[in-house]
Amino acid sequence: MAHLFQLPKQINIPQKLYIMKKILAITVIALGFGINANAATQTNTSSEINILQEKTYNPIEASAIPADALKNISSKYGGYTLKEAHAAADGEYKLVLSKDGKTVTAYFTATGEFIKEA
């Protein structure tokens, strides 16, 4: 009884090419599905991360910022004038500062540690 996948002993060249093309096509299709599934997973993950990083900052009075935090902030931005102050629910501050006509928006932790400048 012949094996299901056993090839005849003598195969001509067009048959070999046909078989090779089939094997190549199946391999390409299988790889394509694998890459496509991986890309979809990565896209969903990055979307979820972006949603979690958005913060809402509410306006506050400058007097609401603790003195220790202001001391740390002034060490980086000495001579700047505080134009606006905002706070997030986690205690992070968004401050709009100005000096010599230049306006800077800077972000700080609740203790006044510098995070970033925008």
| Measured distance CA(72)–CA(35) in Å, rounded | 49
Predicted confidence at residue 11, as pLDDT, reads 65
Shared domain check, 97 and 64: yes
On whether both 41 and 28 belong to a single domain, the answer is yes
Q: Give the pLDDT confidence score for residue 83 in this predicted structure.
A: 93
Edge-first strand order for the sheet with 81-87 is 58-59, 81-87, 93-99, 102-108, 114-117
Q: Which residues pair with 114 in a beta bridge?
A: 108
Query: Taking the model in full, what pTM does it have?
Result: 0.54
Planar angle of CA 24, 25, 29, nearest 5 degrees: 115
The span from the CA of 72 to the CA of 90, in Å, is 18
> pLDDT (tens digit, 9 = 90+) per residue, 39-62?
655 555 555 555 556 789 999 998
Q: Indicate if 95 and 113 belong to the same structural domain.
A: yes
State the pLDDT at residue 29.
83
Residues 20, 69, single domain; the answer is no
For range 67-92, the mean pLDDT: 89
Domain ranges, residue 50: 12-54
